[in-house]
A and B are shown apart, each in its own frame.
Chain A
Amino acid sequence: MNVSGERVFDAPRDVVWRVMNDPASMAKTMPGVESFDIHDDRRWTANVKIPLGLGGLKMKVDMEKVEEREPEFAKLAVKGHGVGAMMNMETSFTLGDADGGGTSMAWSADVKIAGPVGSMGQRVLQPIVNQQVQHVLSALDAQVQAAKP
């Protein structure tokens, strides 16, 4: 399924860019991160427990930055393997100067979920994904604010 949106951060673009490309601070924005390993500046791995309400869904998530144009564009490929679920996500964001100051971010993600969890049906998964995205964005905002000089 495809989700996308736009968000304005009350911070200069380089700050936003720095946060978004710092695995450690990105980790803080992801739902249910239990552990986190950075392999290099393009590839990192997280063990997450995505809250599904009826019990967390444990997943090993590999992320790789596949494209980057500092300071405005980056694309990540995310692969998640869990018992009963496989997730493939391609997500990208474009930063720009927001009219009225701050930084605008246009983002989009193409999420594919397979396995028994996928069989729970989109009527359930789509609201879950939307909600997780909102969590990530507000957490990201917090990180950005914290990173402001």
Chain B
Amino acid sequence: MLLREVEYVKPGSVAEALELLAANDGARALAGGQTLINVMKARAASPDMLVDLNGLPELKGIELASDGTLAIGAMTTYTELMRSAEAKARPILGEVCATIADVQVRNRGTIGGNVCSNDPTNHLPPLMVAVGATMTVLGAAGAREVPAEEFFLGVYMTAVGPGELLTKISIPAGKKDGFAAVTLGADGTCLANAAATVNGSVRVALGCVDAVPVVVTAGSPDGIADAVRSAGLDPPSDVHASAEYRLHLTTVVATRAAEEAASR
């Protein structure tokens, strides 16, 4: 419960936040804090400075463009996404957010924080990859657009470099999506999860099996299980699932996600 000493700064603008992050090697952006604060409690990580992104209107808001593209501010909470009329344009987003942890966490946790922490068991990294999201990363040099597939680099590591911020996630129009997971109790930690989209062929992003989401494709949902098996996965073993069991679960949830996507 007891964090190491840390400096706290509440910038008034994204520009100020970027300066603070660039100027301080040990600074980290604080989004919802539902992962970062916990890791700091365990003292498994201890940034020197927290740059609080809460209350920056530039990072909020959900906009639906005429072509159906959703632009979601990185500091949008799960609850805000679930309740957003615009976000219904891509129904899977709200459906998946509704199964993350619990009300308190959903009220505070943000989609930007979820993808930036990129814990292998998180829901959103595979979902973002599956729906073909584009991440807008802002730095001193200006903004970069990074496809979700290239965004995730490792556990707790993403394309957001030192002195940069994820500001926005853009998601193209679409309805034929699916998500399936086997969790530790209802709404618990994912032992295996997969997000799928059908767009002609079936594209499934697998979570929980590697440091970053793994994409497999097939002509139809029936082909997905084989695609998973031949993807050369080496999933981690932990107290809840051995590598072998996790691999098996992944073939099942991948197929179920694909079937759900195809059925819509």
Contact = CB atoms under 8 A, between A and B. Distances in A.
Interface residues of B, number: 29
Given A122-B237, A122-B238, A54 B154 contact: no
Given A84-B42, A127-B155, A55 B236 contact: no
Q: A-B pairs with the 9 shortest C-beta distances?
A: A53-B156, A55-B45, A127-B211, A126-B236, A54-B45, A122-B238, A123-B238, A53-B157, A116-B42
B117 interface: yes
14 contacts: A54-B35, A54-B39, A55-B39, A55-B46, A116-B42, A116-B44, A120-B42, A123-B121, A127-B120, A127-B155, A127-B210, A127-B211, A130-B211, A130-B234
B146 interface: no
A55 B120 contact: no
Given A121-B238, A122-B237, A54 B43 contact: no
Contacts of B117: 53-54
Contact of A84 (B43, B154, B237): B43
B28 A55 contact: yes
A51 interface: yes
Interface of A: 51-55, 57, 83-85, 116-117, 119-124, 126-128, 130-131
B61 interface: no
A126 to B, nearest CB: 4
In terms of DSSP, what is the predominant structure of the interface of chain A? mixed
Interface string B147-164: 000000011110000000
Contacts of A119: 42, 44
A116 B2 CA distance: 13
Contacts of A131: 154-155, 211
B36 interface: yes
B153 to A, nearest CB: 9
A57 B26 CA distance: 12
Interface in B158-182: none
Interface in B176-235: 208, 210-211, 234
